[in-house]
Every structure is written in structure tokens, then in C-alpha cells.
A = this chain, B = another copy of it.
Amino acid sequence: MQGHSLQRHLILDYLRNTGEHPTAERIAEALSRGGHAASTSNLYRNLTILVAGGQVRRLSLDDGPDRFDANLDPHYHVTCTRCNRVWDVAIQEGDRCDLALPEGFRPGVWEITVRGICAACARGPHPFES
């Protein structure tokens, strides 16, 4: 975890400490709030470097902007189609996912996203935004 510029450190810290999967825009807001505003271009450049270094994953879960995720533990994603929030859910004892892969295919990363309605949205009236 050496060799990162300050900005890159801050991005990584933020990603590690937020439970969300922020978009680039939200990351920029967070940096700004912390008094270390970053230009969009450099933010993306740094995110690209972090992704290339394997410290961050880039997710294209929905039609909006990409989301970034510093949780490298095996997990899957649960997204609410009403409020658009995304949760990490760690793989737990008892979870299984055995699928018949094609002959000769060498699996790498498994990406599992379950779309549905979260508990909050299922209850209350639609809150319009995450």
C-alpha cells in the first residue's frame, strides 16, 4: 500500500471506510468536503490506477455512472431497484453457488447481483432517492 499520492490515499481511505459503492461524483464530493477537492480527470486517473493495482473494483451495476468498491473480500451485491442503493453482502457459511460452466472455461471473478426491493422501500412510500 505504498507509493500512493495523497489524493490516491484519500480516495482509497474513503472507499474503505464507506459502506457504499460511491460513484466518481460522490467520491469527488467527499474529497471536497474534506478540503481536498480533486479534478474529475485526476480522480478518474487515480481510480484507474487503484483498479489496475487491484485495490479497488469498478462496478457497472446499473445504467448510471460506474461505482467503485474497495471491498476485496468475496461478496455479492444486492441493489434496490427503487432507491438504487447497493449493499455488499459477504459470502456466509451455507451460501452456495454451483453452476455448470461450459467445457474448458476457466472461471475467474464471479459477479452476482441480486436486484429487488429493500426492506425500507418495501415498507414505506417510495423515498425517491438514495
A interface with B by C-beta (< 8 Å): 58, 60-63, 66, 76, 78, 80-81, 87, 89, 91-92, 94-119, 122-123
Complex copy number for this chain: 2
Chain B contacts for A107, CB-based, 8 A: 114-116
Chain B contacts for A103, CB-based, 8 A: 119
Is there an interface contact between B116 and A106, defined as CB atoms closer than 8 Å? yes
Question: Given A104-B119, A104-B122, A119-B103, A112 and B89 touching (CB < 8 A)?
Answer: no
Is there an interface contact between B106 and A122, defined as CB atoms closer than 8 Å? yes
Bound-state CA distance A89–B109 (Å) is 16
Chain B contacts for A119, CB-based, 8 A: 102-105
Is there an interface contact between A113 and B115, defined as CB atoms closer than 8 Å? no
Shortest Cβ distance from A118 into B: residue: B105
Question: Which listed residue, B81, B99, B116, touches A112 by the CB 8 Å rule?
Answer: B99
